[in-house]
């Protein structure tokens, strides 16, 4: 998945560059899966994506608070639900990996499901929820973030 302005731009350069980085991490993860990387490599790629996404969510929270965005709270709740769910899934993935040495069918199925969920959620969230705040924030000429 590649970030493009037309498809994913929210009109705020800092946010757009972070979204672009998220997509690169997602691509790394998909690449690791496609070349049948080891479970440990997949774990590292998943952790990297989760950590960067958490950092990005914090940046969004600061910006939305600064702009006094009316939906900041529900936006934050969506981030939290996603983060909790992904953290849990990654932990399950790691436990499964230790139990099965990472090479049975369930393991492969789970990691495909997890990666598909990550890609779908992030794409939809950026295109809908993040674009909503982009439209709101761009009406107000405070610092061009
Ligand atoms: Fe975002
Ligand atoms: Fe967001």
Domain boundary assignment for the chain: 11-137
User: What pLDDT is stored for residue 98 in this prediction?
Assistant: 74
User: What pLDDT is stored for residue 6 in this prediction?
Assistant: 94
Per CATH, is 11-137 categorized as 1.10.260.40?
no
What average pLDDT does range 68-79 have in this prediction? 97
What average pLDDT does range 25-42 have in this prediction? 90
Ligand 2 centroid to Cα of residue 36, in Å, is 31
User: What pLDDT is stored for residue 101 in this prediction?
Assistant: 57
Smallest-distance ligand from the CA of 71: 2
Ligand 1 centroid to Cα of residue 15, in Å, is 7
Long-range CB pairs of 21-30, under 8 A, 24+ apart, other chains included: 21/52, 21/56, 22/49, 22/52, 22/53, 22/56, 22/122, 23/122, 25/49, 25/52, 26/1, 26/118, 26/119, 26/122, 27/1, 27/2, 29/115, 29/118, 30/1, 30/115, 30/119
Ligand 2 centroid to Cα of residue 45, in Å, is 21
Smallest-distance ligand from the CA of 16: 1
């Amino acid at each position: 998945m590649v970030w493009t302005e037309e498809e994913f731009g929210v009109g705020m350069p800092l946010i757009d560059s972070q979204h672009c980085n998220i997509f690169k991490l997602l691509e790394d993860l998909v690449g690791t899966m496609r070349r049948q990387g080891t479970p440990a490599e997949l774990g590292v790629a998943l952790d990297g994506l989760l950590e960067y996404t958490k950092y990005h969510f914090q940046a969004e929270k600061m910006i939305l608070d600064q702009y006094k965005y009316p939906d900041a709270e529900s936006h934050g709740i969506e981030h939290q639900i996603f983060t909790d769910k992904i953290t849990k899934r990654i932990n399950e993935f790691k436990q499964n990996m230790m139990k099965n040495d990472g090479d049975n069918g369930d393991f492969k199925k789970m990691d495909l499901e997890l990666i598909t969920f990550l890609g779908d959620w992030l794409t939809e969230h950026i295109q809908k929820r993040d674009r909503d705040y982009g439209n709101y924030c761009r009406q107000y000429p405070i610092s061009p973030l």
